[in-house]
Amino acid sequence: MPPLSAAYYARANELLAQAWEKNAPVIARLAPLLGASVVRGGVIHTFGSGHSEVIAREIIGRAGGLVCVTGVIDPTGGFIENLVGYGTRLIERYDRQYQLLAGEVIIVISNSGKNSSPIEVALHAKKKGLTVVGLTALAMSATTPTVHPGGQRLHEVADYVLDNCGVPGDAIVEVTPGLMAGPTSTFIGSSLLNWLMLATMEWLQQNHHPLPVLRSQNLPNAIEHNREVGLKYKHRLSRQLA
């Protein structure tokens, strides 16, 4: 029997390859939508409830990433993500401060797809005329009852769905009988978002638009570059540039 880490490596990479094959067509359809929004001066919004916030933060203010990405941050860290109405209040407050503009895109991340806050965020964004991308584990979301009183799950609310191809419960390695470890949602979810960002950059490049991409602050003159590409967005970014 292989070591647990080796078993995780093998299975996780199988799921990563599966996620690429399944989501590549969706990413190809999304890239022009995101690119066109960027050309119009729009920003890309993200929201992740609970641990999914880690995935959302992956593309916010990231070296090598688009500068025009901002995030809805839950100060409770997902502690009350199933308090009905909280997600609506959270996104309404964010909307007042940073603005959700029709024609923009929001990426809402929830591995289970059943929790109230991400569903409420998605519904509010749709009401404001945004395109909603849901990132979830369809194998879990499609079989788990929703907490939201409307009866919908994230993949049923979203305009486009990215499937991280994870298993129910997220963890893929059995460490003792009945006890699972080794989750995959974070690194596959982050990969999906980076694939999407690169596809968007490629669309911008192919259509002869500038690339508002951040550089690592550890490189010479990077801070000045980042401030320049971020100048037009600075009042709409939840994470300010240096």
- Residue 182's identity, in one-letter code, is G
Ramachandran quadrant class, 93 (left: phi over 0; alpha: psi -120 to 50; beta: rest): alpha
Classify residue 78: in a domain, yes or no: yes
Q: Do 135 and 108 meet the contact criterion of CB atoms below 8 Å apart?
A: yes
pLDDT value of residue 1: 65
pLDDT value of residue 143: 85
| CATH number, domain containing residue 73 | 3.40.50.10490
Decide which of 241 and 125 is more confident: 125
Q: Do 88 and 47 meet the contact criterion of CB atoms below 8 Å apart?
A: no
For residue 115, give its domain range.
41-233
Which residues are bridge partners to 136 per DSSP? 163
Classify residue 25: in a domain, yes or no: no
Classify residue 24: in a domain, yes or no: no
Classify residue 63: in a domain, yes or no: yes
The secondary structure element, H or E, covering residue 173 is strand 171-176
Classify residue 144: in a domain, yes or no: yes
CA 125, 127, 132, 134 torsion-angle sign: positive
Q: Is the pLDDT of residue 104 over 90?
A: yes
Kindly report, residue by residue over 177-227, the tens digit of the pLDDT. Answer: 999 999 999 999 999 999 999 999 999 999 999 999 999 999 999 999 999
pLDDT value of residue 239: 86
Classify residue 12: in a domain, yes or no: no
Nearest alpha carbon to residue 108 among 172, 181, 161 = 161
pLDDT value of residue 42: 97
**CA 130 – CA 100 distance, rounded (Å):** 7
Kindly report, residue by residue over 7-54, the tens digit of the pLDDT. Answer: 999 999 999 999 999 999 999 999 999 999 999 999 999 999 899 999
Mean pLDDT of 112-126: 96
**Start-to-end C-alpha separation, the chain:** 49
User: How much is the mean pLDDT over the chain?
Assistant: 95
Looking at the structure of the chain, the number of domains it has is 1
Q: Is the pLDDT of residue 65 over 70?
A: yes
